[in-house]
Amino acid sequence: MFAPLGALSAERLRELAEVAVVERAARGSDPLAAHKDAAHSVFLLHGEILLMYAGGGTLVVVGGMGDGRHPLNRRKAKIERSRAISDLELLTVNDEVLDILVTFDQVASGDATAASAMGQAVRTDARLASGIFSLSNLHHGVFAQLPAARIEQLLERFEQIAVKRGEVVIREGEEGDYYYVIEAGRCQVERMVGGVKVALAELRSGDAFGEEALASKARRNATVTMTTDGKLLRLGKKDFHELLGEPLLQRVGYAEALERVARGAVWLDVRYPSEYRYDRLPGAVNVPLNEVRNSFPVLEPSREYIVYCQSGRRSSAAAFLFAQRGFKASLLAGGLWAAGQGR
């Protein structure tokens, strides 16, 4: 299966099928000529193609096998031209659309290589957030990095709302709009797995939820329903990014990141393993976004980490989660695309 398409859920693949385009190219043609500098990835479904690289060197790619599992036009070496050895069938997918689908799927459902659908749901941290955003903790830990005025603004902009038992606070698949802290009461976290509603956790006073959808600009990865009457504190998307998201996301350009790595920082690749194996940066450690919370006990808090993905979308969510736990983690600005490594 193609990477990273093979890691997508059936639902995401159906969405992708609606926007992907199948093209055919005749034997002897240069099928990639029309795709130079295009903002989409080209996969070889069927046939054989010869890739000729700038500066010399060639590669024969067979559809669905070996190098044929990866985009033809997303290789480190620049392709000067190509030639169809046989009649070809190609699949083109908009890069932005693909990255959004992969981000949502990875945040929502865990590693697709899990042994079962139930395993996907329960192998990750059951809560949607670490709970560190409870008001009693705002002046401690990682939030000590924020200026006092910023914390005061946070306290001022949190809006208190009353909620009733049975009320759905956030719904899986919807756009993220608020970040929540439970002031009083309890709620249940549920996720649809294989068409079955799975209860993941019960959240209580002091717990928080909803930051992943805001930090990664993905959709909600679960449904949260009140099991008692209660009170919530919520922070709007704009305030979240201004007062929490952006201050905790320390962006770094590719050149500076390389210098930091040379001084001992570690690359953290938060993409799927299939993407990581194909074009990871030298020395990078693979910590898929859905496994970030599981990595906290094994990563060294004293080390500096540079977090990256393709576009910066998944790595934004990961870097935010690391920052909450006090890790010194910087975000590779714009991801591999901006660094000229992923396109």
CATH number of the domain residue 215 falls in = 2.60.120.10
Q: Show Cβ contacts of residue 203 under 8 Å, excluding neighbours closer than 6 positions.
A: 127, 128, 182, 186, 187, 188, 189, 209, 224
Is it true that the peptide bond before 147 is cis, omega within 30 degrees of 0?
no
Q: What is the CATH number of the domain that holds 329?
A: 3.40.250.10
How far is C-alpha 342 from the chain's CA centre? 15
Whether residues 133 and 193 fall in one domain: yes
Q: Both 212 and 268 in a single domain?
A: no
Is residue 313 a contact partner of residue 99, using CB atoms and an 8 Å limit?
yes
Q: Total structural domains in the chain?
A: 3
pLDDT at 162 over 90: yes
Which has the higher per-residue pLDDT, 118 or 233? 233
User: Domain boundary at 220, 246, 272, which?
Assistant: 246
Where are any strands of DSSP class E within 54-139?
Answer: 58-62, 79-84, 88-94
Task: Answer yes or no: do 294 and 327 share one domain.
Answer: yes
**Is 187 annotated as catalytic?**
no
Tens-digit pLDDT profile for residues 131-161 = 434 334 443 344 555 655 566 677 678 888 9
| Inside any domain, residue 53 | yes
Q: What is the pLDDT of residues 239-270, one digit of tens each?
A: 888 887 777 788 999 999 999 999 999 999 99
Q: Do 181 and 133 touch, CB atoms closer than 8 A?
A: yes
Asked whether residue 86 falls in the same domain as residue 26, the answer is: yes
Q: How far apart are the first and last CA of the chain?
A: 20
In this prediction, residue 150 carries a pLDDT of 67
Instruction: Kindly state whether residue 85 falls inside one of the protein's structural domains.
Output: yes
98, 125, 145 — which closes off a domain?
98
Q: Tell me if 284 is assigned to some domain.
A: yes
Q: Is the pLDDT of residue 311 over 70?
A: yes
Same domain? 242 vs 260: no
Residue 104 domain flag: no
HEC profile for 223-248?
Answer: EEEECCCEEEEEEEHHHHHHHHHHHH
Strand intervals (E) in the chain:
21-25, 40-46, 48-53, 58-62, 79-84, 88-94, 159-163, 168-170, 178-184, 187-193, 196-203, 208-209, 223-226, 230-236, 250-252, 266-269, 285-286, 304-308, 328-332
pLDDT of amino acid 111:
42
Domain membership flag for residue 146: yes
Range of the domain at 262: 249-338
From the list 154, 169, 309, 339, the catalytic residue is 309
CA distance 193 to 110: 11
164 and 220 within one domain? yes
Inform me whether the pLDDT recorded for 85 exceeds 60: yes
pLDDT bin (cut points 50, 70, 90) of residue 183 is confident
- Please indicate, yes or no, whether residues 241 and 325 belong to a single structural domain of this protein: no
139 plus 225 within the same structural domain: yes
